[in-house]
Amino acid sequence: VTPLTPVCQEILDSRREYFLPQPSSLPSGDRSCQEEPGEGPGWGKGRIQSPPAPPASQRMLGMGGTTISERCSVVEMYNTDEGRWRKRSSLREAAMGISLTLRGGHGYLRGGGRQSKYAVNAFEVFDTDTRSWTRFPNIPTKRAFSSFVPTEEKLFSLGGLRQGRLYRQPKFMRTVDVFDLEQGGSGWMKMERSCYLKKRRADFVAGYLRGRVVVAGGLGNQPSVLESAEAFHPEKNKWESLPPMPTPRCACSSIVLRDCLLAVGGVSQGLSTAVEALCLSDS
């Protein structure tokens, strides 16, 4: 057995109690998920169908991460017209565990862990047309494995894992920071503690669904993966509980599609093949 590199061991250690010795593998082949119909808000199991043809000139942006031996600084973009990846730029510093959101031709890059191992509070914007970087005011709280959710006017920075010399053990966070896109570079809004997450969590699913910021699953202070889900109403300024995930997981891939938040794969007592969708009503 090939021993793990220090970087890979670091990632595994952050989730070590949630892995089993014999994980299952994800299904292979080109597949896409469509939620099964259900009644009212809640989670539904996905079913596999052939994918539809992609719309013209769609782009996907990838930044940072880790290879088998080190953190990456590369910035690459995939264009569906060309059918391949192209290098577009480089991060100022190699990083893993960052949060990235693509909105209106700009990639918003926040936080993560750099070569120092500890999380940083950097907040930068990458212009995909000019391939240039702009520094925005730093995030108020340093953390990695948090989630970043854009709404029509704001960017929400949610939860995460705080590491540093002040903490002997990593600390899961409830923190919610909000950046007002309309105000540009003027800074982050101060949020009341009543607006923080109900549960401390990191490495979780998050998305913007029917006017609400939704979070689900992840890792927390509990001895197992979280199953809980909650939604924040920006107008009501409060969090409300949602139906729990059928398959509690962390490290999922997620996307909002057809008014549903899809959670794909992840880790739940080993690697998970689960594909589930959360659908909300307007109420």
Q: Residue 237 has which token pair?
A: 């300024």
Q: Supply the CATH number for residue 169's domain.
A: 2.120.10.80
Q: Does residue 261 lie in a domain region?
A: yes
pLDDT tens per residue, range 196-240: 999 999 999 999 999 999 999 999 988 889 999 999 998 888 999
| CA-to-CA dists, residue 228 to 237, 240, 272, 281, angstroms | 20, 11, 17, 18
Q: Does residue 246 lie in a domain region?
A: yes
Average pLDDT score over the chain: 76
Q: Alpha-carbon dihedral of residues 134, 206, 253, 15, nearest 10 degrees?
A: 100
3 state DSSP class of 8: helix
| Model pLDDT, residue 29 | 36
Q: Which residues of 123-147 are buried (b: 16+ CB within 10 A; e: fewer)?
A: bbbbebeeeebeebebbbbbbbbbb
Q: Does residue 1 lie in a domain region?
A: no
Q: Does residue 24 lie in a domain region?
A: yes
User: Which range has highest mean pLDDT (159-173, 177-191, 253-267)?
Assistant: 253-267
pLDDT tens per residue, range 50-99: 445 445 457 777 777 766 667 777 788 888 888 888 888 887 777 766 66
| Model pLDDT, residue 244 | 95
Question: pLDDT: is 269 or 57 the higher one?
Answer: 269
Q: What is the average per-residue pLDDT within 121-131?
A: 83
Question: pLDDT: is 22 or 58 the higher one?
Answer: 58
Closest CA to 139 of 183, 187, 104: 187
Task: Provide the number of structural domains found in the chain.
Answer: 1
Q: Does residue 42 lie in a domain region?
A: yes
Q: What is the average per-residue pLDDT within 168-177?
A: 85
Percent of the chain at pLDDT > 90 equals 26
Q: What is the average per-residue pLDDT within 33-40?
A: 45
Q: Does residue 241 lie in a domain region?
A: yes
Q: Which domain holds residue 10?
A: 6-279
